[in-house]
Amino acid sequence: MVRNMTGDQARIRDEFVQRSIGPFDSIRPLEGDASTREYFRVHQGNSTFIVCYDNALKGNTAETYPFLLVQKLLHRHKIPVPEILFTDSEVGLLIENDCGDLLLEQYNTAASHEDRMAHYAGLLDILVRMQSIPSDGSLPFTLSFDVEKLMFEFNFFITHALEGYFGCTGVEVKQELHDEFLRISMELYRPEYFVFTHRDFHSRNVLVHQGRVVIIDFQDARLGLPQYDLVSILRDSYYSLPRVDMDLLKQRYYLRSKEAGVHSMNPDEFDYYFDLMAFQRNIKALGTFAYQVRHFGREKFSKYIIPTLAYLHDYCACRPILKRSWELLSAAVGELR
């Protein structure tokens, strides 16, 4: 993420804002996460707007910039996402309506159990609607969680978490784990079941604004198993749902999604892919957290590593295909023991 704009960059940003919405009172930077983009809040009287700087926007258009493509697709299908008000691809800037700062992660800590479950139920209904969006043959439907993509994420974990963060340098262990990950990736490659996938559908990419949820950070969408986004929100590294709540929400999603025609899996098949997908998704998250800590010094991500590791045993204990991966990880990562 661009943490400190140069004087020229700030001037270009301010000129873009004034050109788009007119005179304004102030611009304040917003705290970043693991994103490559930089965000600011603009104050104009009683109104506020969000400005985003993204170097990847430069030289692109609404037809080639993934964020705008996916936003347009989701907005067209009435998925609650921020509205894009102005863009300038020459300087990599855009303005969105302001949906506040309250993440679902933060909302959960203060909400009553009834309100929290209501928001999750509504969120899963939105997920079913997203997954029901038909492919039109363009981005994001030209991308998928194929074996190559799944293995990229698995290998990212081996490099940045297993070796870089936990200090496991044994060549044989890493090679055998790679082979096990490949087996799992091949099992997860079921294009006949693929649907629209947000890819980072967790509690830090959902805002709670004026009593409703708003979906953000959707630019990496692609095709994948319906379980991918489901495990992202129910087996969330940032907020751990009580097991009984997770099971209730999972069952609710299964019934709603099957009724909507998102998939035709029976309960056993659905649970099988849920567990394998949850394992892969959590392993991917561990690689991301380790990378953020080691390469960018963002220590705040360290606290999510242990809760994510804690998920793994449940999947591995009931799925034979995950048994050897568990044994290798347990031997290499002390926290699992």
> Model confidence over 46-97: pLDDT tens digits?
999 999 999 889 888 778 899 999 999 999 999 999 999 999 999 999 999 9
> What is the pTM (predicted TM-score) of this model?
0.94
User: Using 50, 70 and 90 to split pLDDT, how confident is the model at 99?
Assistant: very high
**Mean pLDDT confidence for 311-324:** 95
**Mean pLDDT confidence for 219-234:** 97
pLDDT at 1: 41
Average pLDDT over all residues of the chain: 94
Separation of first and last alpha carbons in the chain: 35
Residues linked to residue 217 through DSSP beta bridges, in sequence order: none
pLDDT at 189: 98
**Mean pLDDT confidence for 197-213:** 96
pLDDT at 64: 85
pLDDT at 2: 44
Contacts with 165 (C-beta within 8 Å, 6 or more apart), sequence order: 290, 293, 294, 305
